[in-house]
Amino acid sequence: MSTQERNSPREFGEALKAARTAAGVSQETLIDRLKISRRTLEAFERGEFGKLPSRTFARMFLRQIVEILGESPDRWTGLFEKAWDRFLQGSQVIHVAAIEPRARRRVGPWIIGLVVVVVGVAGVLYLAGRVQGQGDRPAPPTPAALLPLLAPTPSPSPVITPPPDATPTPAPGVLLVRTGAASCWVQVRIADQGMQSRLLAAGEVWEVPAGGKEVEVVLGDAGAIEAIEYLGETRANVGRSGEVVRLVLGQPGAVPEPTRRP
C-alpha cells in the first residue's frame, strides 16, 4: 500500500482493493473465512460506507480482513477512521422546508348564508300556515328558533381498537434477538454448527432455532438491542450504544458476563 494517506471513502476502498489484489487473495476467500457477506465486502472496496453496519462493527471486520492480507490492522483502522469522518461530513445535509402561510378562514359569508336560509324557511312556513286558513294557527318560528335545527350534527368519535401484542413468544430451544430504535449487526454461532450473521433493522426480531445448545452471540451495537431470549432467560441492556459485545448463552451453571470489545 502506498504511504500516502487515503482520506476519502472512495480512495480508502480503492486502496483496500489494491492491497487485496497485491496479496493474491480473492473476495471468495475472505467471504468464506470471515463469514462476511459479499455486499459488505464490496461496500468496503467501493467506499460505500452507507451500506456498512455500525462504525464499530465495520472496524472489527476491517481488522480481520487486513490480518488475512498481511497488513497492519492499526494503520488501516487509523485510515478507516479518517475516511469515516469524511463520510459523516459529506452526509450532513440540512433540509429547509418552506412554511406556507395558512389561509385565514372567512366566517362572515358563512354566517350571512345561514341567516338567509333560516329567514327563507321561516317565510315559507308562515305562508303555508296562511294558505291553510287555520283559525288558531301558531306563530311562525323565528330564525333564532330554527338555528339549532340547521346546526351540523357532530360526527361520532371513531372507536380506536388497541393493537394486539406483537411481541413474539419464542418456542423452546429458539434464540430470539430483538432490536430497539436502531439497527444492529448480529452474529450467531451454535455449538457443532456453522455461524450465521444478519443485519437487523430497527424494531426487527430474529428467531434462530438453536435446539437448546450453547450459543455464542456477537452484537455489533449492543445499545441497539432491546432484548435477547433463550431457554427461558431474558437479557436486556446488554451494552452501550456503539459497543461490540459477545455473549455465551445456554451454558450450565452460572450466567456468564458479556465480553466487550473496543
Kindly state whether residue 153 falls inside one of the protein's structural domains: no
Among 52, 71, 89, give the residue marking a domain's end: 89
Question: How would DSSP label each residue in 60-118?
Answer: HHHHHHHHHHT--HHHHHHHHHHHHHHHHHHH--------PPPPPP--HHHHHHHHHHH
Residue 46's domain comprises: 9-89
Q: Distances in Å between the alpha carbon of 85 and those of 5, 52, 88?
A: 14, 14, 5
Distance (Å, rounded) from C-alpha 199 to C-alpha 187?
A: 9
Kindly state whether residue 124 falls inside one of the protein's structural domains: no
User: What is the CATH classification number for the domain harbouring 218?
Assistant: 2.60.40
Which grid coordinates belong to 217?
Answer: 452471540
Kindly state whether residue 211 falls inside one of the protein's structural domains: yes
Number of domains in the chain: 2
User: What is the CATH classification number for the domain harbouring 21?
Assistant: 1.10.260.40
Kindly state whether residue 233 falls inside one of the protein's structural domains: yes
**What value, to the nearest 5°, has the Cα angle with vertex 257 and ends 255 and 262?**
160
Tens digits of pLDDT across the chain (262 residues): 443 445 799 999 999 999 999 999 999 999 999 998 999 999 999 999 889 988 998 999 999 999 999 999 999 999 999 999 989 887 654 444 444 445 555 656 667 777 666 667 676 576 666 645 554 555 555 655 555 555 555 556 666 665 555 555 567 788 889 998 888 878 888 877 777 878 888 889 999 888 888 888 888 888 889 999 988 889 898 888 878 888 888 876 544 456 565 5
Kindly state whether residue 187 falls inside one of the protein's structural domains: yes
DSSP-derived pairing of the beta strands 205-209 and 174-179:
antiparallel
Kindly state whether residue 141 falls inside one of the protein's structural domains: no
Among 89, 111, 128, give the residue marking a domain's end: 89
In this structure, what are the phi and psi dihedrals at residue 187, rounded to the nearest 5 degrees?
-115, 135
Kindly state whether residue 3 falls inside one of the protein's structural domains: no
Kindly state whether residue 101 falls inside one of the protein's structural domains: no
Among 89, 104, 139, give the residue marking a domain's end: 89
